Amino acid sequence: MADAHIDRQALDEVVTFTSDLIRMDTTNKGGGDGVERQAAEYVAERLADVGLEPTLLEKAPDRTNVVARVEGTDPSAPALLLHGHLDVVPAEPADWTVHPFSGEIRDGVVWGRGAIDMKNADAMALAVVRAWARAGVRPRRDVVLAFTADEEDSAAYGSGFLTERHPELFEGCTEGISESGAFTFHADGGLRLYPVAAGERGTGWLKLTATGRAGHGSKVNRANAVSRLAAAVTRIGEHEWPVRLTPTVRAALTELARLHGLDGPGPDATDADVDGLLTKLGPAAKLVEPTVRNSSNPTILEAGYKLNVIPGSATGYVDGRMLPGAEDEFRATLDELTGPDVDWEFHHREVPLQAPVDSPTFATLCESLEHFDPGAHAVPYCMSGGTDAKQFSRLGIEGYGFTPLRLPPGFDYQALFHGVDERVPVDALHFGVRVLDRALLAL
């Protein structure tokens, strides 16, 4: 498939758009505190410039989303959703080499918050559809573009709002493409991998409440709420969750084992078998290790108001993640670990996701990567965290993580998500535009 319509202008635009969007401070502080309007208007203007009709939608002032549809050549074909979020997590300028909202381009690299997560992907989408318009190219399927607010918090002002209040904008969409997959992962022996995401663990953020008997700090107290909470949190944090291989993770382990000349996990693989295989995969184990189990990490403790007063209650929060099909086990285990003196509830919960890795769509995504990086290998991948794909799944849309980036050895892509000195190479953006174009037109 030719990509001659991805011209010099498209390559220049993806860099310019990434830099421009970074300079727009769309920090999401959580709890409804965020402003995406400037970035949304910027995106809408560039879509309108090439004849598209973007719609701006808000659940609250300045929490702006943009949706537009590119009409395909086959009206009978199901539509495809291409979505990315406009908000970013906070950044402390004093910690950065380059100001996080400068969008500076230095030595072939674009710097700033959102360079990886995920204004780079927003820029790719804009550059591709604008190139199509200039060349008179249309995809086979309708492509619905969604640029969302609030992904970095609860998505209540973004994809959650869109799917609940405006589902008609996504009519006909059966599959979606978004963030966190298709980046170069350099494994042992010069092996270049591109993990294409076909699953996400579910979100189970928990609130724990311990109750006890309030009293003087100098007195014996066998019903100390702080002690009860601390004990429960310790049990949760130290719990060894058993291995549970989902189809996506099993496929990932099988392919990674093959590429390393190893035997993959058998149908009755034990915890020891899987853990043993991970130790043999070297750096590539990082791609699957977080997703072979559920997890539960304590993150916040709140209790007391005076040092010599034992409070009557104490509260804690745990970041829990659940594999597809493992929620019942997660619930039962938390009941056991918290014990009789600590209650727990979901503070925020989102479903786990799983998309087929034997589908024509997955094969097309892999082929597009390997076409532009011969000798590399695309592999299945399950994300340990979550994306807006969770909300769009409520409309029956299966999600794949696919933000193509060709990265040099030593470039720690995963560490830059929410990290300091977030940045993306210009060459990686050029690669991404070409791959995304090829994939979208082939789908």
pLDDT in tens, the chain (443 residues): 456 799 999 999 999 999 999 999 999 999 999 999 999 999 999 999 999 999 999 999 999 999 999 999 999 999 999 999 999 999 999 999 999 999 999 999 999 999 999 999 999 999 999 999 999 999 999 999 999 999 999 999 999 999 999 999 999 999 999 998 999 999 999 999 999 999 999 999 999 999 999 999 999 999 999 999 999 999 999 999 999 999 999 999 999 999 999 999 999 999 999 999 999 999 999 999 999 999 999 999 999 999 999 999 999 999 999 999 999 999 999 999 999 999 999 999 999 999 999 999 999 999 999 999 999 999 999 999 899 999 999 999 999 999 999 999 999 998 999 999 999 999 999 999 999 999 999 99
3-state DSSP assignment of residue 160: helix
- Residue 337 to residue 417: CA distance in whole angstroms: 31
Reference 208, options 347, 310, 306; nearest CA is: 347
- Residue 184 to residue 413: CA distance in whole angstroms: 8
Residues with a known catalytic role: 87, 151
Residue 328 neighbours by CB distance under 10 Å: 9
- The CATH architecture of the domain made up of 203-248+288-350 is 2-Layer Sandwich (3.30)
Predicted pLDDT at 4: 74
CATH match of 8-189+352-442 with 3.40.630.10: yes
Strands 28-30 and 33-34: antiparallel
- Residue 27 to residue 395: CA distance in whole angstroms: 28
Predicted pLDDT at 133: 98
Domain ranges of the chain: 8-189+352-442, 203-248+288-350
Predicted pLDDT at 65: 98
Q: Write the CB contacts of 170 (distance below 8 Å, at least 6 apart in sequence).
A: 79, 81, 144, 146, 162, 163, 392, 395, 397
Cβ atoms of residues 124 and 438 within 8 Å: no
Residue tagged 């789908």 (tokens):
443
Predicted pLDDT at 111: 98
The encoded tokens of residue 438 equal 């090829």
- Residue 50 to residue 279: CA distance in whole angstroms: 51
Predicted pLDDT at 1: 46
Cβ atoms of residues 185 and 193 within 8 Å: yes
The encoded tokens of residue 432 equal 């991404």
Q: Which of 159-166's residues contact partners 24+ apart within 8 Å by CB, and which partners?
A: 159/83, 159/85, 159/388, 159/391, 159/392, 160/391, 161/57, 161/59, 161/65, 162/57, 162/65, 162/67, 162/391, 163/391, 163/392, 163/394, 163/395, 165/57, 165/59, 166/57, 166/67
- Residue 400 to residue 197: CA distance in whole angstroms: 5
- Residue 172 to residue 90: CA distance in whole angstroms: 35
